[in-house]
Structure 1
Amino acid sequence: MQELDRVDRSIMQRLARDARLSVSRVAEEVGLSQSACTRRIQALEASGQLKGYGARFDHRALGFRVTALVDITLSTQVEEELAQFERAVQEIDGVVECLLVSGAHDYRLKIICRDLDDYERLHREHLGRLPCVTTISSSFVLRAVATRSEADALFK
Protein backbone atom coordinates (compact mmCIF):
# COMPACT_ATOMS: atom_id res chain seq x y z
CA MET A 1 0.00 0.00 0.00
CA GLN A 2 1.36 3.37 -0.97
CA GLU A 3 2.13 5.98 1.67
CA LEU A 4 -0.08 9.04 1.33
CA ASP A 5 1.70 12.33 0.86
CA ARG A 6 0.38 15.78 1.77
CA VAL A 7 -1.39 16.22 -1.59
CA ASP A 8 -3.14 12.83 -1.40
CA ARG A 9 -4.31 13.60 2.14
CA SER A 10 -5.59 16.97 0.99
CA ILE A 11 -7.49 15.36 -1.89
CA MET A 12 -9.05 12.82 0.48
CA GLN A 13 -10.09 15.54 2.94
CA ARG A 14 -11.82 17.57 0.25
CA LEU A 15 -13.65 14.57 -1.19
CA ALA A 16 -14.73 13.50 2.31
CA ARG A 17 -16.22 16.94 2.98
CA ASP A 18 -17.97 17.11 -0.41
CA ALA A 19 -17.88 14.08 -2.70
CA ARG A 20 -19.66 16.11 -5.38
CA LEU A 21 -16.67 18.38 -5.95
CA SER A 22 -15.50 18.27 -9.55
CA VAL A 23 -12.00 17.07 -10.25
CA SER A 24 -11.17 20.50 -11.59
CA ARG A 25 -12.25 22.10 -8.29
CA VAL A 26 -10.27 19.58 -6.21
CA ALA A 27 -7.24 20.14 -8.47
CA GLU A 28 -7.51 23.89 -8.04
CA GLU A 29 -7.80 23.63 -4.26
CA VAL A 30 -4.78 21.32 -3.90
CA GLY A 31 -2.63 23.06 -6.50
CA LEU A 32 -2.52 20.41 -9.23
CA SER A 33 -3.49 20.25 -12.88
CA GLN A 34 -6.77 18.49 -13.57
CA SER A 35 -5.01 15.54 -15.24
CA ALA A 36 -2.54 15.11 -12.35
CA CYS A 37 -5.41 15.25 -9.85
CA THR A 38 -7.39 12.70 -11.87
CA ARG A 39 -4.38 10.33 -11.89
CA ARG A 40 -3.97 10.66 -8.12
CA ILE A 41 -7.66 10.03 -7.46
CA GLN A 42 -7.60 6.98 -9.75
CA ALA A 43 -4.49 5.67 -7.96
CA LEU A 44 -6.17 6.14 -4.56
CA GLU A 45 -9.23 4.25 -5.84
CA ALA A 46 -7.14 1.47 -7.41
CA SER A 47 -5.15 0.97 -4.20
CA GLY A 48 -8.36 0.65 -2.16
CA GLN A 49 -7.42 3.62 0.02
CA LEU A 50 -10.37 5.55 -1.44
CA LYS A 51 -13.26 3.09 -1.25
CA GLY A 52 -16.17 5.14 -2.55
CA TYR A 53 -18.27 8.25 -2.41
CA GLY A 54 -21.48 8.93 -0.58
CA ALA A 55 -23.91 11.31 1.00
CA ARG A 56 -24.57 11.94 4.69
CA PHE A 57 -28.16 12.08 5.88
CA ASP A 58 -29.99 13.71 8.74
CA HIS A 59 -31.66 10.61 10.18
CA ARG A 60 -34.05 12.61 12.35
CA ALA A 61 -35.24 14.72 9.42
CA LEU A 62 -35.96 11.48 7.55
CA GLY A 63 -38.08 10.16 10.42
CA PHE A 64 -35.49 7.89 12.07
CA ARG A 65 -35.45 9.27 15.59
CA VAL A 66 -33.71 6.44 17.47
CA THR A 67 -30.07 5.40 17.24
CA ALA A 68 -29.20 2.34 19.31
CA LEU A 69 -25.77 1.00 20.16
CA VAL A 70 -26.15 -2.71 20.81
CA ASP A 71 -23.49 -4.84 22.46
CA ILE A 72 -23.76 -8.56 21.73
CA THR A 73 -21.96 -11.46 23.38
CA LEU A 74 -21.85 -14.83 21.68
CA SER A 75 -21.73 -18.25 23.31
CA THR A 76 -18.72 -19.31 21.27
CA GLN A 77 -15.71 -18.02 19.39
CA VAL A 78 -15.67 -20.82 16.82
CA GLU A 79 -14.90 -19.29 13.43
CA GLU A 80 -17.80 -21.00 11.65
CA GLU A 81 -20.31 -19.70 14.19
CA LEU A 82 -18.82 -16.17 14.08
CA ALA A 83 -19.26 -16.26 10.30
CA GLN A 84 -22.85 -17.50 10.71
CA PHE A 85 -23.63 -14.62 13.08
CA GLU A 86 -21.99 -12.08 10.75
CA ARG A 87 -23.95 -13.31 7.72
CA ALA A 88 -27.21 -13.14 9.67
CA VAL A 89 -26.62 -9.62 11.04
CA GLN A 90 -25.89 -8.30 7.54
CA GLU A 91 -29.46 -9.18 6.55
CA ILE A 92 -31.10 -6.97 9.20
CA ASP A 93 -32.46 -3.68 7.89
CA GLY A 94 -31.59 -0.87 10.27
CA VAL A 95 -28.14 -2.20 11.17
CA VAL A 96 -25.83 0.44 9.73
CA GLU A 97 -22.65 -0.83 11.35
CA CYS A 98 -21.49 -4.12 12.88
CA LEU A 99 -18.09 -4.20 14.54
CA LEU A 100 -16.19 -7.14 16.01
CA VAL A 101 -14.76 -5.63 19.20
CA SER A 102 -12.45 -6.49 22.07
CA GLY A 103 -13.56 -6.30 25.67
CA ALA A 104 -16.58 -7.60 27.53
CA HIS A 105 -18.70 -8.10 24.37
CA ASP A 106 -18.00 -9.62 20.98
CA TYR A 107 -19.85 -7.26 18.64
CA ARG A 108 -21.22 -3.72 18.67
CA LEU A 109 -24.05 -2.80 16.33
CA LYS A 110 -25.22 0.66 15.39
CA ILE A 111 -28.90 0.58 14.55
CA ILE A 112 -31.12 3.37 13.20
CA CYS A 113 -34.89 3.07 13.82
CA ARG A 114 -37.97 5.21 13.42
CA ASP A 115 -38.89 5.04 17.12
CA LEU A 116 -38.74 2.76 20.16
CA ASP A 117 -41.61 0.63 18.87
CA ASP A 118 -39.63 0.04 15.68
CA TYR A 119 -36.55 -0.89 17.74
CA GLU A 120 -38.62 -3.27 19.90
CA ARG A 121 -39.92 -4.98 16.74
CA LEU A 122 -36.40 -5.26 15.31
CA HIS A 123 -35.15 -6.70 18.62
CA ARG A 124 -37.98 -9.24 18.80
CA GLU A 125 -37.95 -10.29 15.15
CA HIS A 126 -34.23 -10.17 14.40
CA LEU A 127 -31.75 -9.50 17.21
CA GLY A 128 -33.27 -12.08 19.53
CA ARG A 129 -33.06 -14.68 16.78
CA LEU A 130 -29.43 -14.21 15.83
CA PRO A 131 -27.37 -17.41 16.13
CA CYS A 132 -25.16 -18.08 19.18
CA VAL A 133 -26.21 -14.92 21.07
CA THR A 134 -26.10 -15.10 24.87
CA THR A 135 -26.53 -11.41 25.79
CA ILE A 136 -27.85 -8.30 24.10
CA SER A 137 -27.30 -4.93 25.79
CA SER A 138 -28.80 -1.82 24.20
CA SER A 139 -27.97 1.84 24.77
CA PHE A 140 -29.72 4.71 23.08
CA VAL A 141 -27.99 7.80 21.74
CA LEU A 142 -29.39 10.93 23.36
CA ARG A 143 -27.31 13.43 21.39
CA ALA A 144 -24.27 13.38 19.13
CA VAL A 145 -21.56 15.48 20.74
CA ALA A 146 -18.83 15.20 18.11
CA THR A 147 -19.02 13.93 14.54
CA ARG A 148 -16.08 14.06 12.17
CA SER A 149 -15.51 12.79 8.70
CA GLU A 150 -13.09 9.91 8.51
CA ALA A 151 -10.71 12.09 6.52
CA ASP A 152 -10.65 14.73 9.25
CA ALA A 153 -9.84 12.09 11.83
CA LEU A 154 -7.26 10.29 9.67
CA PHE A 155 -5.40 13.16 8.04
CA LYS A 156 -5.00 15.84 10.73
Structure 2
Amino acid sequence: MIVLDDIDRALIRALARDMTQSAGALGRAHGLSQPACWRRIKRLREAGVFRGARLDVNAEAMGFGVTVFLGVKLATKGRVSLEDFERVVSAIPEVQTVEHVLGAYDYRLRVVARDLSDFERVLRRRIMALPGVGNLDANVMLSEERRPGPL
Protein backbone atom coordinates (compact mmCIF):
# COMPACT_ATOMS: atom_id res chain seq x y z
CA MET A 1 0.00 0.00 0.00
CA ILE A 2 1.29 3.43 -0.94
CA VAL A 3 1.52 6.25 1.60
CA LEU A 4 -0.43 9.30 0.41
CA ASP A 5 0.11 12.86 1.54
CA ASP A 6 -2.30 15.81 1.20
CA ILE A 7 -0.94 16.78 -2.22
CA ASP A 8 -1.36 13.22 -3.53
CA ARG A 9 -4.97 13.22 -2.31
CA ALA A 10 -5.61 16.62 -3.90
CA LEU A 11 -4.18 15.38 -7.22
CA ILE A 12 -6.38 12.27 -7.07
CA ARG A 13 -9.48 14.39 -6.42
CA ALA A 14 -8.58 16.78 -9.27
CA LEU A 15 -7.94 13.93 -11.71
CA ALA A 16 -11.18 12.19 -10.68
CA ARG A 17 -13.07 15.35 -11.66
CA ASP A 18 -11.21 15.78 -14.96
CA MET A 19 -8.65 13.20 -16.10
CA THR A 20 -7.69 15.36 -19.11
CA GLN A 21 -5.90 18.00 -17.03
CA SER A 22 -2.24 18.42 -17.86
CA ALA A 23 0.50 17.90 -15.29
CA GLY A 24 1.43 21.56 -15.77
CA ALA A 25 -2.08 22.80 -14.96
CA LEU A 26 -2.38 20.42 -12.00
CA GLY A 27 1.04 21.46 -10.73
CA ARG A 28 0.17 25.16 -10.89
CA ALA A 29 -3.09 24.54 -9.04
CA HIS A 30 -1.32 22.62 -6.27
CA GLY A 31 1.95 24.48 -5.92
CA LEU A 32 4.13 22.02 -7.84
CA SER A 33 6.29 22.27 -10.92
CA GLN A 34 5.14 20.33 -13.98
CA PRO A 35 7.92 17.70 -13.60
CA ALA A 36 7.22 17.25 -9.87
CA CYS A 37 3.51 16.85 -10.54
CA TRP A 38 4.18 14.37 -13.35
CA ARG A 39 6.45 12.30 -11.08
CA ARG A 40 3.71 12.13 -8.43
CA ILE A 41 1.09 11.08 -10.98
CA LYS A 42 3.48 8.46 -12.38
CA ARG A 43 4.17 7.13 -8.86
CA LEU A 44 0.41 6.90 -8.15
CA ARG A 45 -0.18 5.08 -11.45
CA GLU A 46 2.68 2.62 -10.87
CA ALA A 47 1.42 1.93 -7.34
CA GLY A 48 -1.95 0.94 -8.80
CA VAL A 49 -3.93 3.87 -7.39
CA PHE A 50 -5.22 4.57 -10.93
CA ARG A 51 -6.56 1.63 -12.86
CA GLY A 52 -6.59 3.59 -16.10
CA ALA A 53 -8.38 6.43 -17.79
CA ARG A 54 -11.95 5.78 -18.83
CA LEU A 55 -14.46 7.54 -21.00
CA ASP A 56 -17.80 8.09 -19.25
CA VAL A 57 -20.35 7.42 -21.98
CA ASN A 58 -23.93 8.58 -21.48
CA ALA A 59 -25.85 5.36 -22.27
CA GLU A 60 -29.14 7.22 -22.68
CA ALA A 61 -27.64 9.56 -25.29
CA MET A 62 -26.50 6.44 -27.17
CA GLY A 63 -30.06 5.09 -27.25
CA PHE A 64 -29.94 2.85 -24.18
CA GLY A 65 -32.77 4.16 -22.01
CA VAL A 66 -33.08 1.25 -19.58
CA THR A 67 -30.55 0.00 -17.04
CA VAL A 68 -31.35 -3.17 -15.08
CA PHE A 69 -29.43 -4.69 -12.19
CA LEU A 70 -29.82 -8.42 -12.47
CA GLY A 71 -29.14 -10.85 -9.63
CA VAL A 72 -28.10 -14.25 -10.95
CA LYS A 73 -28.09 -17.41 -8.85
CA LEU A 74 -26.32 -20.29 -10.57
CA ALA A 75 -28.37 -23.48 -10.62
CA THR A 76 -25.53 -25.80 -9.64
CA LYS A 77 -22.07 -24.45 -9.19
CA GLY A 78 -20.54 -27.84 -9.93
CA ARG A 79 -22.01 -28.05 -13.45
CA VAL A 80 -20.50 -24.78 -14.69
CA SER A 81 -17.37 -23.15 -13.37
CA LEU A 82 -17.52 -19.58 -12.16
CA GLU A 83 -14.81 -18.63 -14.64
CA ASP A 84 -16.80 -20.11 -17.53
CA PHE A 85 -19.93 -18.22 -16.49
CA GLU A 86 -17.98 -14.96 -16.12
CA ARG A 87 -16.39 -15.42 -19.54
CA VAL A 88 -19.63 -16.09 -21.42
CA VAL A 89 -21.72 -13.45 -19.65
CA SER A 90 -18.97 -10.84 -20.15
CA ALA A 91 -19.17 -11.48 -23.90
CA ILE A 92 -22.76 -10.16 -24.02
CA PRO A 93 -22.45 -6.52 -25.18
CA GLU A 94 -25.44 -5.30 -23.15
CA VAL A 95 -23.88 -6.58 -19.92
CA GLN A 96 -21.83 -3.64 -18.66
CA THR A 97 -20.52 -5.07 -15.38
CA VAL A 98 -20.24 -8.55 -13.90
CA GLU A 99 -19.76 -8.63 -10.13
CA HIS A 100 -19.26 -11.85 -8.17
CA VAL A 101 -21.08 -11.19 -4.88
CA LEU A 102 -21.86 -12.81 -1.57
CA GLY A 103 -25.49 -13.10 -0.56
CA ALA A 104 -28.75 -14.25 -2.11
CA TYR A 105 -27.21 -14.25 -5.59
CA ASP A 106 -23.88 -15.35 -7.00
CA TYR A 107 -23.57 -12.49 -9.51
CA ARG A 108 -24.83 -8.97 -9.97
CA LEU A 109 -24.99 -7.78 -13.57
CA ARG A 110 -25.54 -4.27 -14.87
CA VAL A 111 -27.43 -4.60 -18.16
CA VAL A 112 -28.33 -1.77 -20.53
CA ALA A 113 -31.05 -1.97 -23.17
CA ARG A 114 -32.87 0.37 -25.53
CA ASP A 115 -36.21 -0.21 -23.76
CA LEU A 116 -37.97 -2.89 -21.70
CA SER A 117 -38.79 -5.06 -24.71
CA ASP A 118 -35.13 -4.93 -25.75
CA PHE A 119 -34.17 -5.95 -22.20
CA GLU A 120 -36.64 -8.84 -22.38
CA ARG A 121 -34.98 -9.99 -25.62
CA VAL A 122 -31.50 -9.84 -24.02
CA LEU A 123 -32.78 -11.64 -20.92
CA ARG A 124 -34.56 -14.46 -22.77
CA ARG A 125 -32.20 -15.04 -25.68
CA ARG A 126 -28.84 -14.34 -24.12
CA ILE A 127 -28.79 -14.44 -20.33
CA MET A 128 -31.36 -17.15 -19.55
CA ALA A 129 -29.81 -19.33 -22.28
CA LEU A 130 -26.44 -19.40 -20.51
CA PRO A 131 -25.43 -22.71 -18.95
CA GLY A 132 -25.88 -22.87 -15.21
CA VAL A 133 -28.28 -19.94 -14.81
CA GLY A 134 -30.82 -20.63 -12.07
CA ASN A 135 -32.81 -17.92 -10.29
CA LEU A 136 -32.87 -14.32 -11.52
CA ASP A 137 -33.94 -11.09 -9.86
CA ALA A 138 -34.23 -7.84 -11.82
CA ASN A 139 -34.22 -4.27 -10.51
CA VAL A 140 -34.85 -1.50 -13.03
CA MET A 141 -32.86 1.65 -12.31
CA LEU A 142 -35.11 4.69 -11.99
CA SER A 143 -32.39 7.29 -11.42
CA GLU A 144 -28.72 7.41 -10.57
CA GLU A 145 -26.90 9.83 -8.32
CA ARG A 146 -23.16 9.57 -8.53
CA ARG A 147 -20.77 10.60 -5.87
CA PRO A 148 -17.95 12.27 -7.78
CA GLY A 149 -14.35 11.45 -7.14
CA PRO A 150 -12.40 8.70 -5.49
CA LEU A 151 -12.95 7.13 -2.09
**TM-score scaled by length of structure 2:** 0.91
State the distance in 1 between where 2:135 and 2:118 align.
20
Q: Which moved more, 1:114-123 or 1:72-81?
A: 72-81
Which residue in 2 is equivalent to 1:119?
119
| Residue equivalent to 1:61 | 61
Q: Could you tell me how far apart the structure 1 residues matched to 2:148 and 2:140 are?
A: 22
Question: Which is helix-richer, 1 or 2?
Answer: 1
For residues 85 and 133 of structure 1, the distance between their equivalents in structure 2, rounded to whole angstroms, comes to 9
Distance 1:73 1:41 in 2: 41
Tell me how far apart the structure 1 counterparts of residues 99 and 57 of structure 2 sit (CA, whole Å): 21
**What residue in structure 1 maps to residue 85 of structure 2?**
85
Aligned length: 151
Q: What is the Cα-based RMSD across aligned positions, in Å?
A: 1.7
Alignment correspondent of 2:128: 128
- CA distance in structure 2 between the aligned counterparts of 1:132 and 1:41, rounded to whole angstroms: 44
CA–CA distance in structure 1, aligned partners of residues 19 and 40 of structure 2: 15
Name structure 2 gaps, 5 residues minimum.
none
Instruction: Note the residue ranges of structure 1 that are not aligned, 5 or more in a row.
Output: none
Distance apart, 1:125 and its partner CA: 1.9
Using the alignment, how far apart are the partners of 1:26 and 1:68 within structure 2?
A: 37
Question: Cα deviation per residue 1:33-84 (whole Å; 9 max; x = unaligned)?
Answer: 1111101111111122111112222222221100000000012345971111
**Distance in 2, Cα, partners of 1:140 & 1:98:** 16
1:29 corresponds in structure 2 to 29
Q: Percent identity?
A: 37
**Amino acid paired to 1:149:** P
Q: Determine the C-alpha separation between the residues in 1 that align with 2:79 and 2:20.
A: 40
Scaled by the length of structure 1, what TM-score is found?
Answer: 0.89
- Conservation of the 8 A alpha-carbon contact between 2:17 and 2:148: yes
Q: Distance in 1 between matches of 2:142 and 2:46?
A: 39
